[in-house]
Amino acid sequence: MNKKVKRAIWAAVGVLTAANCVRAALYRPEKNNFGLFHSEPADAGRAAKHLSEAIRIPTVSRPDPDLVDWPQFARFRDFLDDAYPLIRLNLEKELIPPASLIYRWKGADPGLKPIALLSHQDVVPVSEGTLQDWTHPPFDGFNDGEYIWGRGSLDMKNHLICVMEAVETLLEEGFKPQRDVYLLFGHDEEVVASEFAGAKSIMETLRDRGVLLESVIDEGGAILPAKVKGIINKKLAGVGIAEKGYADIEVSINQSGGHSSQPPKHTGLGKLAEVIRDLENNQFDGKIEPFLLDLLDTVGRNMSYPARLLTCNLKYMKPLLKQIIKQIPPAACMIRTTTAVTMAQGSPAANVLPQISSATVNFRHMPGTSTDDIVKHIKKVVRNKDVNVKVVRYQEASKFSPTDSKTYGVIKELCMQMYPDSIVAPYLVMGGTDAHYYEPICENIYRFAPFVVNTGLLLCAHATNERVPVETLKNGVEFFKAYVRKLASE
């Protein structure tokens, strides 16, 4: 290579490097032009008192309705009536059997589409044998001044109480909505893919009445710290614009069985092991969806200058980004349908060859992938074509909701007003919520909880010592008040 060619190459590298430095310097976060948040009156003490009282009513849902303590749900309804007298007097309340609730706050203009605020009344059981591990009993609603402890404090009676407090306070202030405002509280959200889903019954009731909703907000992303020394120090408010599906699928092998003293070369479990290996070695392919690029771009713009030299080029690095994400399990779930073998069963005794060997595989599928697609995938990648495939339970993935709707804009505006150092970005909810049931009557469905918590605390939901910071309740009430004002005033 002669000197002229070398000089030309180095010159080109220099120009590209300089161009990238300029691009990174211009690659900045959008300006927060929303101004200051106009503080909404909120009785934080009352909210804390009512949350403690709500936790003391153990509204535990279970897959078998016959095992549910239904009188506790009746107690909870009575509690809401007593705690919120103006809601009782001014909103239409309807029980959707066995225990779901519709509250309708009639607006002045019936021509406007209603908005809906969702919550669920139920909580998960406390794991057997763990009561002694709780700092405070799970159904005492103990308030130590810093936290309110108990089952449902974080998932999601805090959310429900803040919604009720917001509406009660708006009524106290004489606010009159222009459009209908619905408060929709299911009773069995914690039962995955429930056959008797209360939220589905609520949706069907509204659909039969010709109700089409302008928007829905349900539980979802909280406001989490995004802190990496020297790179970023912000709060990340994730707005769930879709949620993954859920499918439990049983794969099984049938054999003649017999005595274990005369085993074949491979027992049913041995053959099943090969099936499991085929499934784990042939994961679904990944795809960088637009929401993920939006999320990474938004976060990347808020990083320090050296880091932006890389993040400003993310859209040009999609193939590499995809391969990196696939190698990191907590990140891979954001780009592909996941496969998790969670249960297995063979013979009933150690000296008996299994006649039916089965494994349950839990799939969490991406929007755009159906349960039928999963079954086809299993049959394609498993070499043993004698395997039986049975769908035990499933819930399809949701659609993606738009990020250019008025509702998404209001959520973003309120977050950036209340927390000027926040980053608001869309994300995909890994678990399930009641929100997906409302797709037949609503296009703008969002999953967002306006509570600032750290990641460690978030992991306490469903676990021992579930608790919520008392200080988050005031901001929760303020958020929902402002949210209703902005969306129900026109």
> Residue 388 belongs to a domain with what CATH number?
3.30.70.360
202 located within any domain: yes
Q: Is 94 a catalytic residue?
A: no
**Statement to judge: residues 294 and 223 lie in one domain:** no
**Statement to judge: residues 186 and 252 lie in one domain:** no
**Statement to judge: residues 64 and 199 lie in one domain:** yes
* Rounded CA separation 215/435 (Å): 10
204 located within any domain: yes
Q: Which of 40, 155, 189, 190 is catalytic?
A: 189
* Rounded CA separation 435/414 (Å): 21
What SS3 state is found at 402? Answer: coil
223 located within any domain: yes
Q: Is 439 a catalytic residue?
A: no
**Statement to judge: residues 114 and 93 lie in one domain:** yes
**Statement to judge: residues 237 and 381 lie in one domain:** no
Total number of domains in the chain:
2
**Statement to judge: residues 333 and 430 lie in one domain:** no
Q: What is the pLDDT along the chain (490 residues), one digit of tens a residue?
A: 566 655 655 555 565 555 556 566 666 777 887 877 878 889 999 999 999 999 999 999 999 999 999 999 999 999 999 999 999 999 999 999 999 999 999 999 999 999 999 999 999 999 999 999 999 999 999 999 999 999 999 999 999 999 999 999 999 999 999 999 999 999 999 998 888 899 999 999 999 999 999 999 999 878 998 888 888 899 999 999 999 999 999 999 999 888 899 899 999 999 999 999 999 999 999 999 999 989 988 888 888 877 777 777 887 888 888 888 888 888 899 999 999 999 999 999 999 999 999 999 999 999 999 999 999 999 999 999 999 999 999 999 999 999 999 999 999 999 999 999 899 999 999 988 999 999 999 999 999 999 999 888 888 999 999 999 999 999 999 999 999 999 999 7
Backbone dihedral angles phi then psi of residue 120, each to the nearest 5 degrees = -125, 145
Nearest Cα neighbor of 168 from 82, 96, 78, 59 is 82
> Residue 107 belongs to a domain with what CATH number?
3.40.630.10
**Statement to judge: residues 100 and 163 lie in one domain:** yes
pTM for the model:
0.92
235 located within any domain: yes
Could you list the beta-strand ranges (E) of 192-350: 215-228, 232-243, 246-254, 258-259, 338-345
**Statement to judge: residues 381 and 260 lie in one domain:** yes
Q: Which of 40, 122, 219, 248 is catalytic?
A: 122
Identify the domain boundary among 355, 374, 395.
395
Residue showing tokens 């439990």: 248
Instruction: For residue 402, give both structure tokens.
Output: 């738009």
| Domain extent for 336 | 244-395
Give the DSSP H/E element, type plus range, for residue 12: helix 3-26
Identify the domain boundary among 372, 395, 418.
395
**Statement to judge: residues 109 and 230 lie in one domain:** yes
11 located within any domain: no
Instruction: For residue 98, give both structure tokens.
Output: 């066995």
| Nearest 10 degrees: Cα torsion 266, 271, 277, 283 | 160
Alpha-carbon dihedral sign for residues 157, 429, 206, 114: positive
Q: What is the largest CA-CA distance in the chain?
A: 88
**Statement to judge: residues 209 and 296 lie in one domain:** no
**Statement to judge: residues 230 and 365 lie in one domain:** no
Name residue 432's beta-bridge partners. Answer: none
**Statement to judge: residues 309 and 288 lie in one domain:** yes
384 located within any domain: yes
Identify the domain boundary among 346, 373, 395.
395
